[in-house]
Amino acid sequence: MTSRELPPLLDTNDPHQAFSLSHALSDFLPRGSNLLDEDAESQSMPRGYHLVYFPPDTSQSSFLPDGTDPLHSPGEPFTRRMWAGGDITFRAHGCRLFPGEIRCDESITDVKIKGNEGEEKVFVTIRRELAYPLEGQEYTPKGKFLVENRRLVFMRAHQSSQASATQRAILKPPHKPSFSHILIPTAELLSTFSDLTSNGHRIHLDKQYCQEVEGHRNLLVHGPLSLVLMLQTLQFHHRVQAERDGKKPYTLKHVEYRNLAPLYAEEEMKVCLRQKNPHDYEIWIEGPDGGLAVKGTATMMLRNEPESERPTQLPRGYYYPAPHPGPENSTIFTTA
């Protein structure tokens, strides 16, 4: 699979796509957490919003029976797909929401088979590098603004007698959060997010399919949606703390996460944060039983990045904001 050639994906970083996601999330995030101003042009794309760009370059007729595209699938008999986790590294300069071409180069970098015979799981890692063209419409490493590794897991189809929810051990978080936010994702939110991400996976859209084929009690919350909710909550909390302390807020540099248990539509989930030091956070989501559903870490960085990280040329319509003044060792503390 690692030799499989995946076509580059081209898209337009139109602000309307990001605004649509912002509107969809507005009722599910802490009040005042919206990071987009519709009156401002060329603002930075919020961390995680890249997920609503670059739809798969696959015709709908070639989609698999579960509604997923076949590009990353190992094929029969591993027909069930789940989002296992991943990591993202953001360049400090980010990407501006100004209509223009952006590109995603995608490759399968690792494939591992785990489990006993008959119960194997195939873990597939997909690397995505996102960039915008510089003057002359050339893509170079200087134009790269994000690198993401997605980890998918593929499993065998359930036998009819197996299509019932598996009882899982509840893993409790080791610490209490310094900040948390409770929300209840709706079926409408899942449908909207599926549309915005061009994700036709039936586990997010078809309750009967979830119950009868996949063995789940309700629609599953997308792995990427859980990620966006964590990142938006983290950035909101960090900004509020910085403003309270008279500091300049940092921006997200790196996030790594694992999906440990399903989250379901119409059920409570709690997004949790715990600050370890001025730059590093533990982030997680608890399900309605208080068990860990998603677990991750995040690292922040100063907004005024080193000059060496900036592209020497920017495409027309892009600009840098004035760097924030302030000492490099500015610290931000949270309250328990």
Q: What is the CA radius of gyration of the chain?
A: 20
Q: What is the pLDDT of residue 253?
A: 96
Burial of 291 (0-12, 13-18, 19+ CB in 10 A): middle
Residue-wise burial string across 87-121, b where 16 or more C-beta atoms lie within 10 A, e elsewhere: bbebbbbbbbbbebebbbebebeeeeeeeeeeeeb
First to last CA, the chain: 47
- Count of alpha carbons within 13 angstroms of residue 41, beta-carbon side: 6
> 72-117: per-residue pLDDT in tens?
999 999 999 999 999 999 998 788 887 788 999 999 999 999 999 9
Mean of the per-residue pLDDT values of the chain: 85
Over residues 60-82, mean pLDDT: 91
- Could you tell me how far CA 98 lies from the centroid of its own chain? 21
SS3 259: strand
Report residue 16: phi and psi, to 5°.
-60, -35
Q: What's the confidence (pLDDT) of residue 128?
A: 97
Q: Nearest CA to 113 among 102, 100, 128, 124?
A: 124
Please tell me the predicted confidence (pLDDT) of residue 100: 83
Query: Please, are residues 225 and 185 in contact by the beta-carbon 8 Å criterion?
Result: yes
333 three-class SS: coil
| Mean pLDDT calculated for residue range 294-311 | 72
Report H helices in 197-301.
207-209, 223-245
Looking at residue 61, its pLDDT comes to 81
> Do the beta carbons of residue 180 and residue 272 sit within 8 Å?
yes
pTM of the model: 0.86
How far apart CA 229 and CA 28 sit, in angstroms, is 8
